[in-house]
Structure 1
């Protein structure tokens, strides 16, 4: 029995075919090889075309099919993972009304901040567990304010994975997990937030039918089956945002378990059974894939926008003729601490853990007579690891104290240097597994289709391929404190700028 997993990422779409009996990947592919473009019509804006995602899904599946070893007609269920928080709008004919405003777009920060104040911080945090911030609800409010012609034509709002499911099945559904990541969900009343809809003036008719994450979200249509070679009627039985899905793929389902990923963005994601929140909404709490009204399972998410995106920029700027593997080898040749070179990796939009400030990426202490590309490659990895540590300390303030973190051996974790630096910076061991988002989506489909008798059974054959313990946490601490001091200077400068713009006296230091 075969399962198809589709992972709609910011950089590409990846698909894989998993044999449910042994949980092994038969074939996989991604498209494109180079990272997908992000449209930035203004500073801080980020958009992608949903039609691009659908085309990439088709191409990735076609590449996968050419590898052979299976027959598409034997696929029993489909699962979808997707980049979180993106806003997709369609009319009554299911036609796209505009490009998707994606997760790293910062245009709605002020709208979300004002809603946080006007609705009331205590109400937002106790009911939605988050500030409206820069999430999907605030993005929809921006469209309503700035593009009323488009807003008035909206039939349904969706997240990126909902759109791919719609293209496959012709049906539009959502889940409590999806609504919560958009800050549309009230955890006290277990439904769409009346506070949000009343404040922004959203009609409840904009929201799709709400279903469990693991359930039938529609069946492949005859037309799409002919286009893709699938069997008409094959069900889509799982949809989840990329970070809850990454946690699922690592069997992180119980309270206290923690996952991490370092792709375009970087995330630490821990599971809790408490309706808890950060008072400043620097880390965010969403309904996990196994959340139910009766059995609360929440995902506490720390996000850093600029991880793989920083490393890509470093490659394109300083290592354009090198592979990432070659860059990692060169980084190992530079000394720990990069001879004083420090990099802040915050150049990909407003950072939630920094109170939605756009600090920007910065290179500090460059010595033109000393520093080489190897230093820059290492400093980038160290800067990303320090950002993880900074965020993990916020999670610790909120009661999340992991003793081990699980991660897939992919993206930044392909670098042995980065993995060890991450462990030394955080002081927490890392378990490594061969997994990715498309595998998680495929296994999720098996759970949703009840092919596996339990969620635990879906991961019964998962094998740990690595375990990395701290070997120099004490030595790295001084590097982290120096990095943190530089970051705090930038945060103070940002606050001074804000005060000056408001006509107030700058903060005295």
Structure 2
């Protein structure tokens, strides 16, 4: 089956990756062979001492990247993408995107590049008897708690960039097991967040009376 026929029949699959310097869209055929691509270059910004990408830039980048893909498909195959068999989203793992009940972001997206979480990562590594890197989401949220940031008790959902895009496109607050492992350690026997670490973290933050437990705000694996 030709690439054009695959595209026109809606059998092509779209993968979109949010990298640190470029958003890439790759269209693949039924044999997983790339048949078209598009891209958008971007750079993170240092705002109030933290590396971030704005919500507006995230969506502009996604739209421009997909528009570039469509332009290239038109030029190469003289057809339009009207239907897809599937869409997959990947992005920089880790980081911190916290949303309130109104679904608005509470503080600017904190990327994996930020290293302000040293105290949190060290305390959690000792508590869990497991190395917790500075960039993991659990380090970010606990550092915000240690800092006494006023948005903490307003968190309704905590996710990564990939989880955010997937949520906005599908309405589902989920994350693949690989990306989820960069939020909180995964138990390989259950393929879910480590229950013992979950319990330890909830006990640790209980005196803060935040109004949530960690599984209340994390995406489903």
Taking structure 2 as the reference length, what is the TM-score of the superposition? 0.78
Kept in 1, the 8 Å contact 2:120–2:146? The answer is no
**Separation in 2, partners of 1:80, 1:27:** 16
With over 3 angstroms needed to count, the CA separation of the structure-2 counterparts of 1:51 and 1:197, relative to structure 1, is: farther
Inter-partner Cα distance in structure 1 for 2:202 and 2:139: 11
Which of residues 78, 82, 85 is equivalent to 2:91?
82
| CA shift for structure 1 position 145 | 3.2
Look at both structures and tell me which one has the larger radius of gyration over its CA atoms. 1
- Show CA shifts across 1:422-467 (max 9, x none): xxxxxxxxxxxxxxxxxxxxxxxxxxxxxxxxxxxxxxxxxxxxxx
Q: Which residue of 2 aligns with 1:208?
A: 219
Alignment of 1:255-334 (within 5 A): none
Residue 32 of structure 2 corresponds to residue 23 of structure 1: yes
Which secondary structure state, in structure 2, belongs to the residue aligned with residue 10 of structure 1? coil
- Counterpart of 2:59 in structure 1 is 54
SS in structure 1 of the partner of residue 95 of structure 2: coil
Matched, 1:195 2:200: yes
Distance 1:10 1:135 in 2: 16
Q: Where does structure 1 lack aligned partners over 5 or more consecutive residues? A: 211-509
Q: Tell me, yes or no, if the aligned pair for 2:97 and 2:105 is still in contact at 8 Å.
A: yes
1:38 matches 2:45 = yes
1:123-182 per-position Cα deviation (integer Å, ceiling 9, x unaligned): 423xxxx33544210101122233543122211100110111112112211243223212
Cα contact 1:184–1:196 (8 A) shared by 2: no
Report deviation, 1:51.
3.7
**What secondary structure is seen at the aligned counterpart in 2 of 1:97?**
coil
Residue 22 (structure 2) aligned to one of 9, 12, 33: 12
The 1:95–1:166 alpha-carbon spacing in structure 2 relative to 1, beyond 3 Å, is: same
1:229 corresponding residue in structure 2: none
In the alignment, the residues of structure 1 paired with residue 141 and residue 189 of structure 2 have an alpha-carbon distance, to the nearest angstrom, of: 23
Residue 16 (structure 1) shift? 1.6
Aligned residue number for residue 417 of structure 1: none
Contact 1:88 1:101 in 2 (8 A): yes
CA gap 1:132/1:31 in 2 versus in 1, 3 angstroms: closer
Matches within 5 A, 1:53-452: 53-67=58-72, 68=74, 69=77, 70-117=79-126, 119=127, 123-125=128-130, 130-131=131-132, 133-146=134-147, 148-187=149-188, 190-192=191-193, 193-201=198-206, 203=213, 204-210=215-221
TM-score, with structure 1 as normaliser: 0.36
Per-residue deviation at 1:64?
1.3
Q: Report how far residue 103 of structure 1 moved.
A: 0.6
Secondary structure class of the residue paired with 2:68: helix
Q: Give the superposition deviation at 1:190.
A: 4.8
